[in-house]
Amino acid sequence: MTGSEQTREQKKAETRSRILSRAHELFHEHGFDSTTLEDICAASDVSKRTFFRYFPDKESLVFPNRERRRERFVEILSAAPPDESPFDTFRRLTRLFSVEYSENREQLLVAQSLIRSSSALLAREAAIDREWEQDIAAVFINQLPPGSASERRAEVLAGAMMGTVRATMRHWYATGGVEDLDQLGHEALDSLEAGFGIR
């Protein structure tokens, strides 16, 4: 990468960071629903056209690293050894993500509070959860014998696992993120595995 290319990339990163920072200041001052795209662009000193180069819509500002996190999740999930139980794979993922969540606890708690304040953000969060559930099912289907029965089993297992994740995260957020998230995740997965009958 040339010096001019590095400069351009740095400026793009700075612009993206500025938009995110100004937007979140407005969200927490006025609320997500009351903050307009025009407000964000004015506070960030960018045009709407520039804004849409970085973000597809206002909701995406609250989930800025969604695609990167999802890609990493699928990559780890897909790289699991073929003889590893789906539950053991999820235990490894739980350990990895719990470290990241604990390190960014304050930021995540603030973001979750913002999400809970807006029906639009709750809908986006639910859509993201569905994407992850579909990703899990797609990976699990490839690990089972061909056939509609395996597809259904993979979909049910993916749904059960995402339900476990959602319930665990709700509890963690509700208690201020002070409990050991890795332990909570493992306890939830142990209970699910015992009920699901997979060893």
The model's pTM is 0.83
Give the domain ranges of the chain. 3-59, 66-196
CA quadruple 115, 117, 121, 126: dihedral positive or negative?
positive
Q: What is the domain class of 3-59 according to CATH?
A: mainly alpha
| Residue 181 to residue 168: CA distance in whole angstroms | 8
| Identical fold between 3-59 and 66-196 | no
CATH numeric code, 66-196: 1.10.357.10
Q: Please, are residues 112 and 173 in contact by the beta-carbon 8 Å criterion?
A: yes
Residue of 9, 161, 147, 150 whose CA lies nearest to 73: 161
Residue of 73, 123, 102 whose CA lies nearest to 180: 102
Instruction: Return phi, psi of residue 151, to 5°.
Output: -60, -45
In angstroms, how far is CA 99 from the centroid of its own chain? 14
Q: Please, are residues 160 and 192 in contact by the beta-carbon 8 Å criterion?
A: yes
Please report where in the chains the tokens 């989930």 appear, as a residue.
63
Per-residue pLDDT of the chain (199 residues; tens, 9 = 90+): 677 778 888 999 999 999 999 999 999 999 999 999 999 999 999 999 999 999 999 999 999 888 888 999 899 888 988 888 888 998 999 999 999 999 999 999 999 999 999 999 999 999 999 999 999 999 888 777 777 888 898 899 999 999 999 999 999 999 999 999 999 999 999 999 888 655 5
End-to-end CA distance of the chain: 50
